[in-house]
Structure 1
Amino acid sequence: MTTLDKFQRTVQNPIIPYIESIIGGLLPGELVVIRGFVPEDSERFQIDFQCGNSTKPRADVAFHFNPRFKRSGCIVCNTLQNEKWGHEEITYEMPFEKGKPFEIVFMVLQEKIQVSVNRQHLLLYKHRINLEKINTLGIYGQVQISMIGFVANKVVPYIARLNSPLEPGRTIVIKGEVKEQANSFAVNLKPSDSNDIALHLNPRMKEKAFVRNSYLSNGWGEEEKQISHFPFSPGMYFELIILCQAHQYNVAINGVHTLEYKHRFKQLNKINIIEVLGDILLLDVRSW
């Protein structure tokens, strides 16, 4: 199974300021992961997705991500075109702390960049410059960076073998983004030696239904649909967590417990395949 540590390429402990080409540019669905540390005396730092690296005239900056620590702190996002800054988008939520490490995940999408810090969604920034023009990453200011990593997205339908069969205590995490015009998607856990589907999770956007079922002995069972609120919406980033327990699966979306599903397929140690299908951009699948 993949993990966020299986990068296509990485840079370790770069010197700041860091200005380097992004080989092959950025494609929709790619992740740029930056891990580092905020020094105690930091007033600000910035991560710039640039269109080239010229200084005179200064290269356009498609996405300027700039945490500032004065007073209660804020994060300023902007775009530089023809050496002129545009309208600032300011986020007052501050996930960075002086003296603390951080992990930023920039999820690159066709229309926007989504930023999460320390596994929590932080902000969305709509592209003002075409994604195809971004070819350079710049990091400046008072910050230490331990690693920069690039992760390509996964092709849906996605089918993979779990690194070991299911058992109580195992966790599976699926990260993705619901497409803007999505109808539905599905996650299936199944054995490799039959057509059975032990767990079928099927969010349906149009009817706001989160269907759960099992396909056993060549037939679907009774659908379970009971849910307090439907947790998905078009364009939304999500982390779907499946925790296997002795008698049931517990499912959480973005850290919030959402439902339980009692085991109908009891031979857990035969479940060794995961499938992800439907209208999502799939970013990461992990199990442990």
Structure 2
Amino acid sequence: MSEFSRQRTILNPVVPYLGTIFGGLELGQMVVIHGTVAPDADRFQIDFQCGCSVQPRADIAFHFNPRFKGSGHIVCNTLENERWGWEERTNQMPLTKGKPFEVLILVLPSKFQVSSNGKHLLFYKHRLDFRRIDTIGIHGKVMIEMIGFASQTPLQGSQLISLDASPLNSNKAESTESMDFTLPYAANIPGGFVPGRTMAIKGEIKRDAKRFAIDLRPTGSTDIALHLNPRMKEKVFVRNTYLYESWGEEERCLSEFPFQQEMYFEIIIRCEANHYKVAVNGIHQLEYKHRFKDLNKINLVSIGGDIFLFDVRVW
């Protein structure tokens, strides 16, 4: 995620650890955990709890439990009224015994979204109200270097502009509460998308999504300077340019496809003198050399496809 302010950081807590989350969890908040799995680990767990009571045992809204026997798997569950619910398991195991790791847990309206070591890992739909969570517990064979709590905040010292789906003639930042992000979406970019400017696009991919597209282009022309087109079934992230009534050669190569159905995403596009830089959920993905050379004319963004669009901002 691009713009987070650290609210509180806990360094080198002793495990087992039980600590208060001051102010509880908020929508859009991210919990960042850095640690190292013990060389002889069989399992460890991270629990987001509703209190710290032992008798009766506090409810656990989200139990994240990597287990290392065999090929390894991760168990997620909820404890309510001292009873565990049904286990949700994933056989993906990005954590390795004796190795450092990073786990990011993002709070969304209907679920937690978890990534590890820069890759999407799993979703866990809320079974309890996440606003009840006020305690984090960590147990098992793991060493923790840092627990951080971060919330999205506006940029400091930058002119942040929310792009409504209608032409904007002002450079004044506006509230997103009244903005229309229905698809297909198109908005003017005040001042154009020239070198030094950055755009953030936030949304969620639909459950049955096939593809979506983001286009940067000049108004009054069919040209497309930058076409970003994630295709879910093929698992390819296509980049291209449309000039003189025809598409150029597609660029497709990436080490990992960074999208998944039902995933929340934030795409950051940075315009530099010779190329665009593109990141997804805080991870740099690619550079794309300019084929449309008259950068001063790029003043329109259009978005369509199988997503829910939440926000589009430029600075």
CA distances 1:3-33 after superposition (whole Å, capped 9, x unpaired):
66x5111000001111111111111100000
What is aligned with 1:212? 215
Contact 2:183 2:309 (C-alpha < 8 Å) held by counterparts: yes
Q: What is the 5 A alignment of 1:4-19?
A: 6-19=5-18
Q: What is the 5 A alignment of 1:2-151?
A: 6-151=5-150
| CA distance in 1: counterparts of 2:270 and 2:191, whole angstroms | 23
- One-letter code aligned to 1:92: N
Q: Count residues with an aligned counterpart.
A: 250
CA RMSD between the two structures: 4.2
- One-letter code aligned to 1:240: I
| CA distance in 2: counterparts of 1:184 and 1:18, whole angstroms | 48
Q: 1:256 to 1:81 in 2, by over 3 A?
A: same
Contact 1:249 1:263 (C-alpha < 8 Å) held by counterparts: no
CA distances 1:76-108 after superposition (whole Å, capped 9, x unpaired):
000001111000001110000011110100001
What is aligned with 2:252? none
CA distances 1:121-177 after superposition (whole Å, capped 9, x unpaired):
000000101111111100111100000001112469x99369xxxxxxxxxxxxxxx
Shift of 1:228: 6.0
Contact 1:31 1:106 (C-alpha < 8 Å) held by counterparts: yes
What is aligned with 2:265? 238
- Which residue among 151, 158, 161 is the counterpart of 1:160? 158
Shift of 1:240: 2.8
SS at match of 1:196: coil
Identity %: 43
What is aligned with 1:174? none
- One-letter code aligned to 2:215: R
Contact 2:201 2:311 (C-alpha < 8 Å) held by counterparts: no
What is aligned with 2:276? 249
| CA distance in 2: counterparts of 1:71 and 1:207, whole angstroms | 35
- One-letter code aligned to 2:93: M
Q: 1:253 to 1:185 in 2, by over 3 A?
A: farther
| CA distance in 2: counterparts of 1:70 and 1:130, whole angstroms | 32
* Greater RCO, CA 8 A, separation 6+: 1
Shift of 1:238: 2.6
Q: 1:155 to 1:141 in 2, by over 3 A?
A: same
- One-letter code aligned to 1:152: S
| CA distance in 2: counterparts of 1:74 and 1:130, whole angstroms | 26
- One-letter code aligned to 2:16: P
CA distances 1:44-102 after superposition (whole Å, capped 9, x unpaired):
10000001000111101000000000111110000001111000001110000011110
Mapped pair 1:279 → 2:305: no
Structure 2 unaligned regions, length at least 5 = 161-180, 233-258
What is aligned with 2:183? 183
| CA distance in 2: counterparts of 1:214 and 1:15, whole angstroms | 53
| CA distance in 2: counterparts of 1:101 and 1:187, whole angstroms | 43
The structure with more strand, counted as a fraction of residues: 1
| CA distance in 1: counterparts of 2:118 and 2:154, whole angstroms | 23
Shift of 1:110: 1.6
Q: 1:23 to 1:250 in 2, by over 3 A?
A: closer
Contact 1:185 1:280 (C-alpha < 8 Å) held by counterparts: no
SS at match of 1:55: coil
Contact 1:184 1:279 (C-alpha < 8 Å) held by counterparts: no
- One-letter code aligned to 1:262: R
| CA distance in 2: counterparts of 1:160 and 1:130, whole angstroms | 35
Farther off after superposition, 120-129 or 248-257: 248-257
- One-letter code aligned to 1:126: K
CA distances 1:162-208 after superposition (whole Å, capped 9, x unpaired):
9xxxxxxxxxxxxxxxxxx95367899x8xxx823338798998996
Q: 1:202 to 1:238 in 2, by over 3 A?
A: closer
- One-letter code aligned to 1:81: E
Q: 1:186 to 1:150 in 2, by over 3 A?
A: farther
